Amino acid sequence: MATQASSSAISPNRAALLFILLTSFLGSMGIGLITPVAPFLVSRYVTDPNSTGLVLGWLISIYAVCQFIAAPALGVLSDRYGRRPILLICLFGSAVGYLLFGLGGALWVLFLGRIIDGITGANFAVTFAYIADVTPPEQRGRYFGLTGAIVGIGFILGPTIGGFLATYGYTMPLYIAAAITFLNVIFGFLFAPESLPRSARAKHINTAQLNPFSVLGKVSSIRSLRWLLIVTFLYSVPLAAIQANLSLFAKDTLGWDAESVGILFALIGLTDIVTQGVLLGRMLPRLGERRMVVLGLLSELLGYVLLASVLLLHSPIPIVIGTIIFAFGDGLIGPSIGGLLANAADTQNQGQVQGGSQAVQALARILGPILGGVLYDQVGYAVPYLSGAVIVLIAALVMSMMLPPLRTSALAADPQP
pTM: 0.66
How confident is the model at residue 89, as a pLDDT?
92
CA torsion 125→130→134→135, rounded to 10°?
-20
Using one digit for the tens of pLDDT, what is the confidence trace for 332-387? 998 888 888 777 666 666 666 777 777 788 788 788 888 888 888 888 888 999 99
Q: What distance in Å separates the CA atoms of residue 310 and residue 316, rounded to the nearest whole number?
A: 7
Please choose, from the candidates 11, 97, 95, 19, the residue with its C-alpha nearest in 3D space to the C-alpha of residue 59.
97
Spell out, as residue ranges, where the chain has pLDDT lower than 50: 1-12, 407-417
How confident is the model at residue 112, as a pLDDT?
92
How confident is the model at residue 122, as a pLDDT?
66
Backbone angles phi, psi at 157, to 5 degrees: -70, -40
Note the Cα 100 to chain centre separation in Å: 22
How far are the Cα atoms of 36, 86, 159 from residue 162, in angstroms, in the given order?
7, 28, 5
| Domains parsed from the chain with CATH numbers | 16-190+209-404 (1.20.1250.20)
How confident is the model at residue 5, as a pLDDT?
38
How confident is the model at residue 368, as a pLDDT?
87
Q: What distance in Å separates the CA atoms of residue 258 and residue 243, rounded to the nearest whole number?
A: 15
